A and B are shown apart, each in its own frame.
Chain A
Amino acid sequence: AQRVTQPEKLLSVFKGAPVELKCNYSYSGSPELFWYVQYSRQRLQLLLRHISRESIKGFTADLNKGETSFHLKKPFAQEEDSAMYYCALGLQGGSEKLVFGKGTKLTVNP
């Protein structure tokens, strides 16, 4: 069965420290992975997707098919990065059906 696991419900770091939000997936097909972010009182929005290979707001994520992981990283966390982060798995080769992880609440302390 398809599954996305985000092992950390809460993650707290200090400003300027590196941050890594973990995401592991289980899927027998060709995965497409996304990170969505929800800032306080805002809608869920796309942060990045693995096929774009972009860096958004200093965040990067590399798809590791061997470890079935798609961890989100940022070398120097900022207070404005505090938000809820969801990892999502796109089925059927695209973003048509998404399976979401339970999310990680990141708090960046001053």
Chain B
Amino acid sequence: SAVISQKPSRDICQRGTSLTIQCQVDSQVTMMFWYRQQPGQSLTLIATANQGSEATYESGFVIDKFPISRPNLTFSTLTVSNMSPEDSSIYLCSAVTGGNQPQHFGDGTRLSIL
């Protein structure tokens, strides 16, 4: 299975600032996804990162708040914009290597907003 690396692993940010999280896969993958896991909650899909085009966002998530890039088949970024304490969560990247393969996850980025 693909090895997925996320950076940073954690950060503490000030209210109103933005943070970009990077996701790097060690092999080409067909699909990449971003999830959020709020404290005590389950994982919620934010969006599908599409290579070379705009991401596909799930209900409740918008591009202005969570801009996503995927310039190639192995790399994606998620930006959390204009952060507020409610954005304190773990953000996870996942990828599918192809066909009917399952999703594999990165270690996540633990984000705290003061």
Contact = CB atoms under 8 A, between A and B. Distances in A.
Interface of A: 34, 36, 43-46, 49, 51, 86, 94-103
Contacts of B43: 44, 86, 98, 100
Contacts of A103: 42
Interface of B: 31, 33, 41-45, 48, 92, 96, 100-108
Shortest beta-carbon contacts, A-B, top 3: A44-B105, A100-B43, A100-B42
B100 A86 contact: no
B45 to A, nearest CB: 6
A70 B102 CA distance: 17
Contact of B102 (A46, A86, A101, A102): A46
Contact of A95 (B42, B92, B103, B108): B103
Given A44-B92, A49-B102, A97 B45 contact: yes
B45 A101 contact: no
A23 B101 CA distance: 22
Contacts of A99: 45
A100 B103 CA distance: 12
Nearest to A38: B105
A98 B103 contact: yes
Contacts of B92: 44
Given A43-B105, A44-B43, A98-B33, 4 more contacts: A45-B105, A95-B100, A96-B31, A101-B42
Contacts of B33: 98
B79 to A, nearest CB: 22
B1 to A, nearest CB: 8
